[in-house]
């Protein structure tokens, strides 16, 4: 399966990265990791790139890690459509005290606009 994992430095995105890399190692997925700008993250994009490369190296898989500039949600949807990805994986989704799931703006945009399957890792 051709999988695009979008990460921006949040704890949720790192969970999504770890799960996606683990699955790619077992299922032999064609994985691309897209590091996007996330205004809500205090982690520098270069550090996110390093973390992604380390995860790929530790799992001993062949995956592309790339920096993606521009509006994160739009770019992830665009890349998935133009490059034929079968799935987009993102981190996000918190359960509020009232039991409702809240998601960030990037995940919301991708969920509402992607024509491919989207997996949200919480």
Domain ranges of the chain: 2-120
Task: Label the pairing between strands 94-95 and 87-91.
Answer: unpaired
CATH code at 2-120:
3.40.50.620
40 within 8 A of 10, measured Cβ to Cβ: yes
Residue-level pLDDT at 52: 98
Positive or negative, the Cα torsion across 11, 92, 50, 55?
Answer: positive
Spans of the chain, pLDDT less than 70: none
């Amino acid at each position: 399966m051709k999988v695009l994992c979008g990460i921006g430095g949040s704890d949720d995105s790192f969970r999504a990265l770890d799960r996606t890399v683990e699955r790619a190692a077992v299922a032999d997925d064609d994985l691309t990791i897209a590091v996007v700008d996330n205004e809500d993250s205090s982690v520098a994009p270069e550090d996110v790139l390093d973390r992604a490369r380390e995860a790929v190296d530790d799992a001993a898989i062949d995956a592309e890690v790339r920096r993606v500039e521009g509006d994160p949600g739009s770019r992830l949807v665009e890349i998935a459509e133009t490059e034929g990805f079968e799935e987009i994986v993102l981190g996000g989704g918190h359960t509020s005290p009232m039991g409702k799931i809240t998601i960030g703006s990037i995940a919301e945009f991708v969920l509402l606009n992607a024509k491919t399957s989207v997996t949200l890792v919480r």
